[in-house]
Amino acid sequence: MADSKREVERKYEATPETRLPDLTRAAGVSAVAHRGVTELDAVYYDTEDFRLAAASLTLRRRTGGDDAGWHLKIPVSADVRDEIRAPLSDALPSGLTALLRSRVRNTPVVPVVRILSARDVHHLLDEDGGLLAELSVDEVLAERLTEEGHGTTSAWTELEVELADDGDPALLDAVERRLRKAGVRPSAAPSKLARALEETAPGKRRKPRKAASPRSAGDHVLAYVRAQAEAVVELDPAVRRDLPDSVHSMRVATRRLRSALRTYRPVLDRTVTDPLREELKWLAGELGVDRDQEVLDERLRSRVAGLPGTLVLGPVAARLKLTFVARRSGARSQVASVLDGDRYLALLDSLDALLADPPLRPAAGRAPGDTLPRAVLKEYDRLATRMAGALEQPPGEERDVAMHEARKAAKRVRYAAEAAKPALGKPAKKFARRMKAVQKVLGDHQDSVVARDALRTLAVQAHGAGESAFTWGLLYGREEAAAAARERELPGTWARAADPRLRAALKG
C-alpha cells in the first residue's frame, strides 16, 4: 500500500572538502547530532523520451536507508514535493502506475539512471532534543542506463537540508544563511536525477528554446488551451489521491477547454475540435457526479450546523452522513474507473495531437485585438438572450431551468474573457469579473434548487423510517427563501455586467 509524505528540502553545491559551519548559531537550532553514513542505491525510471523528467516528476526504486522501496516525487511548489512511497518489490506497484498514467499513457517506464550515494547524516535538534531538520552530505555517483549513453558516469558532492514533519520553513532560511556565510551555494539542479541526466547525456545537450511571447490571436488561444490541457494532466494524480478540491479543479479545467474550443471556432477548425468538445463534455460529466455530491453534502451540513439545537429533531446528522458517504463512495469509484479507461487516455492523446499540429483558420493569424473581442461578444449575445428569457419568467420550475441555462452561458462568457485577458488586458479582466458575479448569483440559485430536491427526498426517507421530518422541512423553507433572495439580486447584478461601456472597452 502506498503512503504519502510532504517533503520540504533545499539542495546545495558541495565538495569533498566542504566543512559544515556551526549550525547551532542558526535560530532555533540547539544541537547537531551526527547519525553516521548510509549507503543508498537508487534506480530511476522514466519513458524513453523522458516524459516524467519533463514534468519534474521522479520515480525511483531505492535500497538502503530506512525508507527502502519505490518513491514517486510530485512537485508542489518551490522546495516542496509530495513523496508517494510503496514497499520494495521487483515490479512497479500498481498504485504508482496509476499516478503516472496521465503522463506516460500506455508507454512503459524503463531504467534511465542509477545513482549511488554515500549519505553522511546530521540531525538538527531543538532545545528539547526534538528533530528540526535532517542535513545530509551526499557523495554521489550517477550512471546512465539508457541504450544511448549507456555506462556514462558523473560524480559530485551535494548537501541537502530536509525539514522535519510539521517543521517551520523559517528554519530553512536560518540554516541557509549560515551555509551561505560558509561559502555554500544553492544547487543549480532541482534534483539528483536532473543533474544526472544533464551530466551523463550523450553529446552536447541543447538548451530548450524559450517559448515566444504570444502575438497573434492563434498564439493566445493556443496558449490558453495548452494551459488547460496541462492542468488536466497535472491534476490527474491529485484526483486519484482524493486531494481536496482536486476533482473540482480538474472539472473546471475540462470545462474551460471545452468552452475555449467553442468560443474560438474562428481560430481553430471546428471539424477537428467539435469531436474533442464532445469528449470533454463526457469527462466533465463524469467528474461532475463526484463534485456535485461534494457540494451538496457541504451545503446541507453547513445548513444543519447553523440551526439551533432545539430545531434539529431526530437523527438528522446521522441520516446525512449515511446518505452522502454511500453516494460519494460510488462516485469516487466511478471517477477512478473513468481515469483508468481507454476513452480518457485517448482524449489526452487527442489534446496532445491538437497542440502539436493545431488546425488554425485564417483568423488565427490576425491581431488578437481584432479576433478575440468579437468571439467574446458573440458569447455575450447568447447570454443576453438567455438572461432576458429567465428574467421574464415568473417564479417556478420553468424559471429555475431558464436561470440554470443562463448560468452555463455566463460561465462560457467568463471563460472566454479570461482566455482573452493576456491579450486584451484590464478591459477583459473587468468584463470577466462582472460575468463571474452573474455566474455566482445564478450558481447559488441553482445550488438551492438542487438542495431543495435533496431535502424533499431526505424528508420522505425520514418519514418512512418513523423519524421526524420537521428539520428537513424547515431547511427546505430556508432554501426557498435563499433562492428568492438570489432572484431579487439578479437584475442588479446583470445590469452592472451588461453595461455597454464594458463591451466597448473590449473593442479598444
Please state the rounded mean pLDDT for residues 295-310. Answer: 93
Give Cβ neighbours of residue 417 (< 8 Å, ≥ 6 apart). 376, 428, 429, 431, 432, 435, 506
pTM of the shown model: 0.89
Q: Is pLDDT above 90 for 10?
A: yes
pLDDT(145) > 60:
yes
Residue 7 in contact with residue 162, Cβ under 8 Å? yes
Average pLDDT over residues 218-231: 97
- Taking the C-alpha atoms of residue 84 and residue 89, their distance in angstroms, rounded to an integer, is 15
Contact 291, 245 (CB under 8 A): no
Where along the chain do its domains lie? 3-199, 217-507
Q: Any idea what the Cα angle at residue 281 is, between residues 279 and 282, rounded to 5°? A: 65
| pLDDT single digits (tens) 353-405 | 999 999 999 999 999 998 999 999 999 999 999 999 999 999 899 999 999 99
β-pairing verdict for 131-144 and 153-163:
antiparallel
pLDDT higher than threshold 90 for residue 331? no
Q: What residue has cell string 483508468?
A: 340
Give the confidence band of 324 by pLDDT, cuts at 50, 70, 90. Answer: confident
Which residue in this structure is represented by grid cell 488554425?
Answer: 360
H/E stretch holding 120: strand 110-125
| Distance from chain centroid for Cα 173 | 27
Cα-Cα end-to-end distance for the chain: 57
Q: Angle of helix 500-507 relative to helix 426-464, nearest 10 degrees?
A: 130
Given a cut of 80, whether residue 215 has pLDDT beyond it is: yes
In this structure, what C-alpha cell is assigned to residue 289? 457526479
- Residue-level pLDDT at 46: 97
Instruction: Tell me the mean pLDDT in the region 57-84.
Output: 94
Is residue 119 within 8 A of residue 65, CB to CB? The reply is yes
d(CA 173, CA 10): 10
The predicted-structure confidence for 265-299, as pLDDT tens digits, reads as follows 999 999 999 999 999 999 999 998 878 888 899 99
The cell for 97 is 502506475
Indicate the fold that domain 217-507 takes in CATH.
Answer: CHAD domain (1.40.20)
Measured distance CA(404)–CA(409) in Å, rounded: 9
pLDDT in tens, 37-47: 999 999 999 99
* DSSP 8-state assignment for residue 51: H
Strands (E), 215-277: none
What CA–CA distance (Å, rounded) separates 285 from 196? 43
CA 314, CA 334: separation in Å to the nearest integer? 32
Count Cβ neighbours within 10 Å for each residue of 432-468 and write b for 16 or more, e otherwise: bebbbbbbbbbbbbbbbbbbbebbeebbeebeeeebe
Name the pLDDT band for 2 (thresholds 50, 70, 90): low
| Residue 1: per-residue pLDDT | 46
Q: What is the mean pLDDT of residues 115-120?
A: 96
Sole residue written with cell 525508507: 67
Q: What is the pLDDT of residue 149?
A: 84
Q: Is the pLDDT of residue 301 over 80?
A: yes
Quote the CA–CA distance of 252 and 260 in Å, as a whole number: 12
Note whether 3-199 and 217-507 share their fold: no
Q: What is the pLDDT of residue 321?
A: 87
- Alpha-carbon gap, residue 399 to 411, rounded angstroms: 18
200 pLDDT band, cuts 50/70/90, is very high
**What does the pLDDT read at residue 207?**
54
Average pLDDT, the chain: 93
Class assignment of domain 3-199?
mainly beta
pLDDT band, residue 208 (cuts 50/70/90): low
Q: Are 319 and 467 in contact (CB under 8 A)?
A: yes
Among 34, 38, 22, smallest CA distance to 139 is for 38
In contact, 235 and 227? CB cutoff 8 Å:
no
